[in-house]
Amino acid sequence: MSGAEHETRVDAQAEPTAPEETPAPEATADDEGIEGLAQDAAAEAPEPAEPDYRDLYLRAAAETDNVRKRARRDVEVAQARGVARLARELLPSLDNLDRALAAAEAEEADAEHAAKAVGGGTADEHHLTKGIRLVQQEVLGALTRVGIEQFSPEGEAFDPHQHEAVAQQPFEGAASGTVMQVYQPGYRYKEEILRAAKVVVAA
């Protein structure tokens, strides 16, 4: 074998074989129909509508107003609770003023009888009673200004929601269940009973 033939065979063996190309699939009628439908749907789809800014503004304004109203109600409820709590703390002091005034008036009456007997005066006793009464009226006036009301239900029908019966006894000419005496006045704040009135009820 000659050198030229040997080189020719080596070159033929070394030369790689090119891969065969796979033909691309041809588009079918179904594929073309699907693409057409997709294009038609995209063309027919409505464009996104512009936001209704007026409606959004009205909604936001209504929500803000609701928040403001809720905050105002919360403040009013908190204020009412504070007033009622303070009033309950003051009621024992008012009771003491009532007792002091009753004692001063009793002493004043006794002093008047004694003064008449000996021909003296009772100016000091009058000043004491007047001073206690003024303090009592000032405190009651302050409570009234914030909506707290004192009530004395004598002559009214007994109401267990507003009255506390400490005794029940017969009274001539009085209907059963009528409040005949008030031992201690009651207090209310708007519709809330701070303390029920202590009463004697006709049997």
Examine the domain organization and report whether 168 and 106 are in the same domain: no
pTM of the full predicted structure? 0.61
| pLDDT value at residue 25 | 53
- Is residue 29 in a domain? no
| pLDDT value at residue 92 | 92
Q: Mark which of 146, 165, 188 sits at the end of a domain.
A: 146
- Is residue 67 in a domain? no
Check if the beta carbon of residue 163 is closer than 8 Å to that of residue 153: yes
Q: How many domains does the chain have?
A: 2
| pLDDT value at residue 125 | 60
- Is residue 41 in a domain? no
- Is residue 156 in a domain? yes
Name the residue range of residue 180's domain.
149-203
Lookup result for tokens 């609770």: 81
Q: Mark which of 97, 117, 146 sits at the end of a domain.
A: 146
> What's 202's domain CATH number?
2.30.22.10
| pLDDT value at residue 113 | 64
| pLDDT value at residue 53 | 84
Examine the domain organization and report whether 141 and 172 are in the same domain: no
Residue pLDDT tens, the chain, 203 long: 544 454 445 444 545 555 555 555 554 555 555 665 556 555 555 666 777 888 889 999 999 999 999 999 999 889 889 989 989 999 999 999 999 998 988 888 877 766 666 655 555 567 888 888 999 999 999 999 999 999 999 999 999 999 999 999 999 888 999 999 999 999 999 889 999 999 999 98
| pLDDT value at residue 111 | 73
Examine the domain organization and report whether 154 and 194 are in the same domain: yes
DSSP track, 47-98: PPPPP-HHHHHHHHHHHHHHHHHHHHHHHHHHHHHHHHHHHHHHHHHHHHHH
Phi/psi of residue 124, each to 5°?
-65, -45
